[in-house]
Chain A
């Protein structure tokens, strides 16, 4: 069956919907667009879509990646136009690629994501210096603890998952660019990395104030898009 890779953005009001709601919204959009979506077999058929990485609620994504199968070929341009006309505000198709039938799922190859994280001046009680970031990156270990599904605290070292971290701008607060390991092998969340950085810098920042945008998803050094 023809398979397409859809690069899309999830912004504005759409950033507030969960991954499950996104799946529902896309299925409905494709039905409105009259696209020949393929359904899974079985008692409870669902559209054959697979996503590179669910985006947490509240985070914007500029180039998210999903694969979808159709029962009949649709010209790429046509697919993008029809879907764009049927997507709710905040969701938009940027590009459609054809993917070989036997190509691995996007989730299987994903290993890195780039983020922009912004903090308003009001929410940053003290300036963060470049050298502090460099110092942080020079650490051998960055331990963070997270409550697991069983309710127990788990401590792990996220340093190997922080690939890049740099200050991009100091206009109206602080804007940073991050590259983090993402995917099944290792997964570091941007607010985790930022919380660890501010803890190291001794600046009390409420992580809920971080405005996060996922810029791009990568498989190795090449973008999934």
Chain B
């Protein structure tokens, strides 16, 4: 295979994507290792290698003596062409073994638009796409986890078992169960049954879905005994002592996030009502600064990275962020190691932090007010005021930055043109502040970037329809016309990809045929604008009798059974209903970090608690709704 691979690698654009051999890559003895698992990232190498979750699972599994985990990424179309031409099957980077020879393949589901890549990778591996066609034969077990597993239904026919929630602990339970099943010589079905009994594992083939005449879902019922009617996500209770990779694989070619990643906390307490991550990574759990300093030292020593990024959903919220940044800069600054912050909360405090870590103000600062008026920001519970934003940009412009990026979402529930006009006004006010404070006027730039709202499962907005593409285009045009002028830049996301994202994110099992048809028509890398083709998808829906608008544009009722209702993210449906009602009334809900529990129901349901560095905690209330 090596000779053949060499010949192929001479013909592709970036052979480093497939060559392996990176620093800290783990290569174990193939024949003497009991379980062989492939971690499959359904996007290109540079994207997949930027993903902390992969590094965590890679380290956690490879620490075991009886198991190995090797990486495989989606081949770029030029590589796919070569592989198909020469019959080279999809292979892992470490051993260069065909993926088909592994015991388990684990896909990570980071975004809906990677679904066609999953089918493509299975196909390139020579593995039948559907569970039913793999059953009983000697094919690898195909599992999947990650954010999109919280509505697993569109992929239910392709994936044998979904893993819900945080993977550090459950991955070991999965491997143990697999091993035990093999030892006992169990068949395919017995093995799946064994897996389905692990908390947090959902085996879709053990559930039957019935539909109403109007096309809605009538019921989702387990078809065998011993599997739960509601599969609840897994949460790591002790984030402090759970495995963290301090010897991550260092990518051989430049990746999207090519730096050390230090996870300062997991979860976010802000409760933005459109945000799925805010729900699925609850509760917030901070790490102790001493642990983080130790990890930082180990990671830098083991990787040689010149930059360390403090990652989390909202790093400025980490209660010890200020002393942590000072300590890291003091300890590692003189060896040429910089600290970076991935996302900034909209306030002056965050800009001060950025000032401390960014000695050179070369890049722009980005803030995400998400909506243009206070009314709409209250609807989405984005706890940001115009005053916060003006303070933040004032601090940024006086601190030496000349470029500001503002992120907004359009198509949010209850949005009117007045909210769009609010975006314009806000941008102009920021620009005006820049004119007052920035001396190099020529470099002053305010970029407004708008994405389209996509309703996501397990959020208070899960019942809400997405705007039609026509309406989103009209709103973009509205903004484009008004955001012209010196110093203003307007960017927007293509509403077509957001539409497919909405269909898939709210989809059910009936979409399987359409996903497969889209893939057969050549859909790949749908998240990449150069490859995305709406017409392929529309033809696929047409062919399989699916009306995509029913998924994207439909308003669900509170009483409806949603396709993902048998998947438990921990937050109660009653709470989501209450939050949705509050949103419609324009009422905000406070952050549980302050000590007052809004009663989302997660902590009692999953027997966990928020944890703040230094041992402070929030007293959860029982589900009192």
Interface status of A195 (Cβ within 8 A of chain B): no
- Chain A nearest CB from B8 CB (Å) reads 10
Query: Which residues of B are at the interface with A, using a C-beta cutoff of 8 A?
Result: 6-7, 9-11, 15-16, 18-23, 250, 252-254, 258, 300-306, 335-337, 359-360, 362
- Which single residue of chain B is at the shortest CB-CB distance from A21? B253
Interface status of A169 (Cβ within 8 A of chain B): no
A16-B304 contact, Cβ under 8 Å, with A24-B254, A45-B336: no
Q: Which A residues are in CB contact (< 8 Å) with B303? A: 28, 32
Mark contacts of A6-33 with chain B using CB atoms, 8 A cut-off: 1 yes-contact digit, 0 otherwise.
0000001110111011001101111110
| A18 pairs with B16, CB closer than 8 A | yes
Other than the given A24-B258, A43-B359, 12 more pairs (CB < 8 A) read A16-B9, A16-B252, A17-B252, A21-B254, A25-B250, A27-B304, A28-B306, A31-B300, A43-B362, A44-B360, A58-B10, A208-B10
- Chain A nearest CB from B362 CB (Å) reads 7
Sorted nearest first, the 8 A-B pairs with minimum C-beta distance are A13-B21, A28-B304, A31-B304, A16-B15, A32-B304, A13-B19, A89-B21, A16-B19
Q: Which A residues are in CB contact (< 8 Å) with B258? A: 24
Report the separation of the CA atoms of residues A29 and B303 in the bound assembly, to the nearest whole angstrom: 8
How many residues does chain A have at the interface if contact means C-beta atoms less than 8 Å apart?
Answer: 31
Q: Which B residues are in CB contact (< 8 Å) with A89? A: 21
| A18 pairs with B304, CB closer than 8 A | no
- Chain A nearest CB from B216 CB (Å) reads 52
| A28 pairs with B10, CB closer than 8 A | no
Interface of B is mostly: loop
- Chain A nearest CB from B393 CB (Å) reads 23
- Chain A nearest CB from B81 CB (Å) reads 14
A29-B11 contact, Cβ under 8 Å, with A17-B16, A39-B336, A88-B21: no
Report the separation of the CA atoms of residues A29 and B477 in the bound assembly, to the nearest whole angstrom: 50
A18-B253 contact, Cβ under 8 Å, with A28-B306, A88-B21: yes
- Chain B nearest CB from A224 CB (Å) reads 26
Chain A, 19-61, CB within 8 A of any chain B CB: 20-21, 24-25, 27-32, 37, 39, 43-45, 47, 57-58
- Chain A nearest CB from B4 CB (Å) reads 11
- Chain A nearest CB from B22 CB (Å) reads 6
Report the separation of the CA atoms of residues A24 and B7 in the bound assembly, to the nearest whole angstrom: 26
| B304 pairs with A13, CB closer than 8 A | no
- Chain A nearest CB from B106 CB (Å) reads 24
- Chain B nearest CB from A27 CB (Å) reads 7
Contact of B23 among A27, A28, A57, A209 (CB under 8 A): A28
Contact of A21 among B252, B305, B362 (CB under 8 A): B252
- Chain B nearest CB from A139 CB (Å) reads 28
Report the separation of the CA atoms of residues A129 and B335 in the bound assembly, to the nearest whole angstrom: 57
Q: Which A residues are in CB contact (< 8 Å) with B336? A: 31, 37, 39, 45, 47
| B9 pairs with A32, CB closer than 8 A | no
Q: Which B residues are in CB contact (< 8 Å) with A20? A: 254
Interface status of A109 (Cβ within 8 A of chain B): no
Contact of B11 among A25, A27, A208 (CB under 8 A): A208
